[in-house]
Structure formats: C-alpha cells, structure tokens
Amino acid sequence: MTSLFTSDDLHYFSEGTHGSLSSVLGSHPRTVGGVAGTSFSVWAPNAESVSVIGDWNGWDRGSAPLAPVAASGIWEGFVPGAGHGARYKYHVVSHNGGYRVDKADPLALCAEEPPLTASVVWQLDYAWGDDEWMATRGARNALDAPMSVYEVHLGSWRRSPDDPRKVLGYRDLAPQLVEHVTRLGFTHVELLPIMEHPFYGSWGYQTTGYFAPTRRYGDPEGFMCSSTSCTRPASA
C-alpha cells in the first residue's frame, strides 16, 4: 500500500506544525491497485496495536489491523470494501496492562447522529458557488470596516414550525439565518461550536470530532451550503 504520509508530513507532524492534518489523518476513500476502499490513520502513540472495526466487517476487531508509520505514533492501513457512508471506530490495545477500547475518529469528516457514536467515512461532494463573495471578503473584514456579530446556537435559535421539539437542519436554517441577520443589520455570524459532540446540553463545548459538523442538523454538505447555493448533491 502507498502511504498517504510523505516524509514532509511526518516531519511537520512531529514538529507540531502540520497545517492540514485532516488531509492525511482520518479516513480517505481511494483506490489502491485497482481495488476500492478507504485508507485509515490515527495517532495512538501508546498503543500496542490498532485495528479498524466497522459495519462492513461486522465490527470484527481482528480483520483490519493498522501498521505503525515509522516512529511517529501514527497507525495506518488500507481497508478494501470500506467506502462512503461506512460506519467505523478504532479498536486500540494499550501498552498499559492490555487495556482495550473502541474509539471514534477525532479527525473524521462525518459522524453518526448522536446518541450513536461511530465515525462515518465521507467523500465530500460539493461545488462551491461563493467566488463573488470570496472576492469581496477582504473589504468587509478590513480594520476600518464596521462589524456587528450575531452569536447563535443553531439548535435552539429556531425550531420546526410543524413540531417545536424538532430542530431544523443546515439547509433549512441557512436562508432563514441570513435573512434574519441581514434585516437586523449584523455583518457577521458566530456559531456556537458546531463540531460533533456527545452531550447536547454542552452546546458543543465537549467536542469529539474537530472536522465533523454535528449530524444533528444534517450531513457535511448541508453545513457547506448557503442561502443562495443550498442544493443536495446527487450522491447524497
């Protein structure tokens, strides 16, 4: 298997200055030697062994072992047959007294909707349509530009008109939130932590997935949408 990690990746990772860890750690669907599957990698420096368990292998702790990458503390492997939408965790065996535990992936791009806790292999499928907005962003963020920030927790800001117990999704919230803050004269929106978290009462401040927007409001592409470009891709 061809590793996703270059010598530069390992150098910057060990130095603590790697600027794009999600591009190498976590789960990445790809084809190796004509076989479709997913590369998995996780940092577990005190592990004696690490394997990937998931719905494609019946959560079998022995069928998909990972291998250490040099002396980095990273474990990596390619698993044929695991693809987009597959649920998975890492089974970690510690050097400390044989302690064993199943862990979600801290660098996954997607997770199951809580209270379920598995990570999900995700191949992002989204075409950005914000070229005009990006081209003018600098002027809006200049030191002499006015700034008024609207802080919001998505789950409690507005509920479904049909069922007040039901939170709205990213695709429903985006156009409503943009209209609301624009009408009130706000220039920026600050979201309370949106990353995946197990206890909803924490309002996101117990983050477990730094690159996975919570599934409580939809899929990762839903979080990427805007009021003017908020369509669901054909593959979702």
- DSSP annotation of 112 reads P
Q: Which parts of 85-131 are beta strand (E)?
A: 87-94, 100-103, 119-120
pLDDT of residue 225: 81
Cα gap 65→80, rounded to integer Å:
12
pLDDT tens by residue, 171-222 = 999 999 999 999 999 999 999 999 999 999 999 999 998 899 999 999 999 9
pLDDT tens by residue, 50-67 = 999 999 999 999 999 999
pLDDT of residue 7: 95
pLDDT band per the 50, 70, 90 thresholds, residue 1: low
Omega before residue 114 within 30° of 0, cis: no
Average pLDDT score over residue span 79-108: 96
pLDDT of residue 176: 93
**Spatial contact of 119 and 209, defined as CB atoms under 8 Å apart:** yes
pLDDT of residue 230: 53
Cα gap 126→22, rounded to integer Å:
17
Cα gap 63→149, rounded to integer Å:
50
Q: 7-120: CATH homologous superfamily?
A: Immunoglobulins (2.60.40.10)
Torsions phi, psi for 134 (to 5 deg): -65, -35
Torsions phi, psi for 52 (to 5 deg): -105, 130
Whether residue 231 has pLDDT greater than 60 = no
Whether residue 234 has pLDDT greater than 80 = no
Whether residue 93 has pLDDT greater than 60 = yes
Whether residue 138 has pLDDT greater than 50 = yes
Cα gap 218→236, rounded to integer Å:
11
pLDDT of residue 164: 86
CATH 2.60.40.10 location in the chain: 7-120
Work out the mean pLDDT of the chain and round it to a whole number.
91
- pTM of the predicted model as reported, rounded to 2 decimal places: 0.89
Number of Cβ within 10 Å of residue 29's Cβ equals 16
